Amino acid sequence: MSVGSSEKPPVNRAKFATNLGVLAATLGSAVGLGNIWKFPYLTGSNGGAAFLLVYIICMLLIGIPVMVSELTLGRAARSNAIATMQKLSPARQPWWLIGAAGVLAAFLIMAFYSEVAAWVFAYIFKAIQGGILSTDPEVTKSAFNGLVGNPTQSLIWQWIDLAVVGFIILLGVNKGIESATKKLMPILLGLLILVGIRSITLPGAGQGLTFLFQPDFTKLTAASFLIAMGLAFFKLSVGMGTMITYGSYFRDDQDIPGTAFRVAFSDLAVSLLAGIAIFPAVFAFGYQPNAGPSLLFLTIPSVFASMPLGNIFMVIFFILTAIASIGAQISLVEVPVAFLEEKFHLSRQKASIITVLSIVLVGSLAALSNSTLADVKLFGMTFFDLFDYTTSNILLPLGGLFIAIFISWIWGYKKLSAALSNNGQLSNQGIIKVFYGTLLVVTPVLVTIVLLNGLKIIQ
Ligand code: TRP
């Protein structure tokens, strides 16, 4: 993302140098709180294994095809999300609205995402102090509730997170973060594996594995299909232009479908590891799998409490989670920043400051959702839940739907095929046909049905 992001296209737009660089950067956007916090909490609230299966199907039939589309469009236009859609669409057709909806989605996602990151930051310090390390649900619950119920702490940690993200974007040192992420990601993986091993050797752990891996289809509802699809969008950072921006930095000889598959499956592996770390602990210590957004913050301290050197490992765990979250947040914030810069000819500094300050404003509504504004509800949801729900389950699917329709119906097979085969250099005609067919029919039809059904418009 960093690469050339402060330049005005198309002058010398920089490109990712190596295949590993592309993979690391794209994964850096995909992997984040979505894997460690959102995936477990949604899987827990929607019945476990059956939901996981629907999620994987959505990833294959919707998430990956949309990711391929976004990367392709971005590379073809080499511009920010809105300008890409403007450049590639036929005259007087308003496809740029997809990019505009993406900018809106970026703000709303950041509003609650920065608050979850705030909890992670707070937990680094709580872990250092040691007070939260306990296998007793009462202790971990009151620690979490104490944090989110305190308006000052909720706001201050969010500002700290946004200051960190803002500085990285402002100083244009994203490259440093990228290379840091590349090095730290394997450590996070290693630590997740370690926590997973501890968790599955807890007494009573089997129930957690059954919950995660043995589907009970009676638990699925129209709403859970919608939520699984929303998670597929959110996880792969698609539906709002992040991957268009990344695609604009891809080299012409980069294998886009291959990269998308590798990113999606590595990302799934991280989510599964997080699930394996969390669900056995849910059952071993007597938590509720449907605890909601608090799930990670209750169970993880209990697992570490039952490990030698647990306190130190927990500090490292939350530091690495914070770093992963920052990588994802940079990719989110970059969308409005790049747009403001190019559209209104603002300096990178101004664009970054305006963006971060706007997130501070909207974000405070999410930050105060468990304290001062706990009783303010729209459609029965607090601001936090509303931002979380509407972005994943409405805005991203709509963005993805139109991107799929645009690339298959408007851009068409010829251009898509040339782009995905790198003008015939890759011999992947079979894969290209599968993608084309999927984007032409399967993705749009599935997204439409799941959306309408999940939102109870048809039944
Ligand atoms: N995928 C990231 C995660 O799982 C979050 C994220 C980053 C995102 N960029 C995005 C979600 C763009 C939707 C759209 O944590």
Each residue's pLDDT tens digit in the chain (459 positions)? 444 444 344 444 566 767 777 788 888 899 999 999 999 999 999 999 999 999 999 999 999 999 999 999 999 999 888 999 999 999 889 999 998 899 999 999 999 999 999 999 999 999 999 889 999 999 999 999 999 999 999 999 999 999 999 988 887 655 655 666 677 788 888 989 999 999 999 999 999 999 999 999 999 999 999 999 999 999 999 999 899 988 988 889 999 999 999 999 999 999 999 999 999 999 999 999 999 999 999 999 999 999 889 999 999 999 999 989 998 999 899 889 888 888 899 998 999 999 999 999 999 999 999 999 999 999 999 999 999 999 999 999 999 999 999 999 999 999 999 999 999 999 999 999 999 999 999 999 999 999 999 888 765
Substitution site in 36, 62, 235 for ligand 1 pocket (most atoms within 8 Å of beta carbon): 235
Substitution site in 113, 234, 240, 245 for ligand 1 pocket (most atoms within 8 Å of beta carbon): 234
Substitution site in 66, 110, 331, 391 for ligand 1 pocket (most atoms within 8 Å of beta carbon): 331
Task: Give residue 236 CA to ligand 1 midpoint distance, Å.
Answer: 6
Task: Give residue 237 CA to ligand 1 midpoint distance, Å.
Answer: 4
Query: Cα(435)–Cα(413) distance, rounded to whole angstroms?
Result: 10
Question: In the structure, which protein residues have their CB atom closer than 6 angstroms to any atom of ligand 1?
Answer: 29-30, 32-35, 109, 234-235, 237, 240, 242, 328, 331-332
Residues contacting residue 377 through CB under 8 Å, at least 6 positions apart: none
Query: Cα(24)–Cα(9) distance, rounded to whole angstroms?
Result: 23
Task: Give residue 311 CA to ligand 1 midpoint distance, Å.
Answer: 29
Tell me, yes or no, whether 403 lies in a domain. no
| pLDDT for 49 | 98
Task: Give residue 433 CA to ligand 1 midpoint distance, Å.
Answer: 28
Which atom of ligand 1 is nearest to 331's Cα?
Answer: 9
Which atom of ligand 1 is nearest to 240's Cα?
Answer: 14
Tell me, yes or no, whether 4 lies in a domain. no
- The domain that holds 209 is classified in CATH as 1.10.4160.10
Substitution site in 242, 388, 398 for ligand 1 pocket (most atoms within 8 Å of beta carbon): 242
Task: Give residue 370 CA to ligand 1 midpoint distance, Å.
Answer: 23
Which of 122, 70, 139, 430 is CA-nearest to residue 299? 139
Task: Give residue 20 CA to ligand 1 midpoint distance, Å.
Answer: 20
**CA nearest ligand 1 atom 4, residue:** 34
Substitution site in 33, 332, 388, 396 for ligand 1 pocket (most atoms within 8 Å of beta carbon): 332
71-101: burial string, b at 16+ Cβ within 10 Å, e else: bbbbbbbbbbbbbbbbbbbeeeeebbebbeb
Tell me, yes or no, whether 430 lies in a domain. no
Substitution site in 237, 323, 330, 403 for ligand 1 pocket (most atoms within 8 Å of beta carbon): 237
Tell me, yes or no, whether 361 lies in a domain. yes
Query: Cα(292)–Cα(274) distance, rounded to whole angstroms?
Result: 15
**CA nearest ligand 1 atom 7, residue:** 328
Which atom of ligand 1 is nearest to 332's Cα?
Answer: 9
| pLDDT for 8 | 41
**CA nearest ligand 1 atom 12, residue:** 237
| pLDDT for 4 | 41
Q: Are 208 and 280 a contacting pair, CB within 8 Å?
A: yes
Q: How many domains does the chain have?
A: 1
The H-or-E segment that residue 365 falls in is helix 348-367
Q: Are 264 and 89 a contacting pair, CB within 8 Å?
A: no
Task: Give residue 141 CA to ligand 1 midpoint distance, Å.
Answer: 27
Query: Cα(5)–Cα(138) distance, rounded to whole angstroms?
Result: 47
Tokens of 80: 């920010």
Task: Give residue 430 CA to ligand 1 midpoint distance, Å.
Answer: 30
Task: Give residue 239 CA to ligand 1 midpoint distance, Å.
Answer: 10
Q: Are 234 and 42 a contacting pair, CB within 8 Å?
A: no
* Structural domain of 253: 19-398
Tell me, yes or no, whether 451 lies in a domain. no
Tell me, yes or no, whether 432 lies in a domain. no
Which atom of ligand 1 is nearest to 243's Cα?
Answer: 12
Tell me, yes or no, whether 42 lies in a domain. yes
Which atom of ligand 1 is nearest to 34's Cα?
Answer: 4
Which of 414, 420, 409, 415 is CA-nearest to residue 443? 409
Residues contacting residue 169 through CB under 8 Å, at least 6 positions apart: 330, 333, 334, 337, 352, 355, 356
Tell me, yes or no, whether 423 lies in a domain. no
**CA nearest ligand 1 atom 8, residue:** 237
| pLDDT for 339 | 85
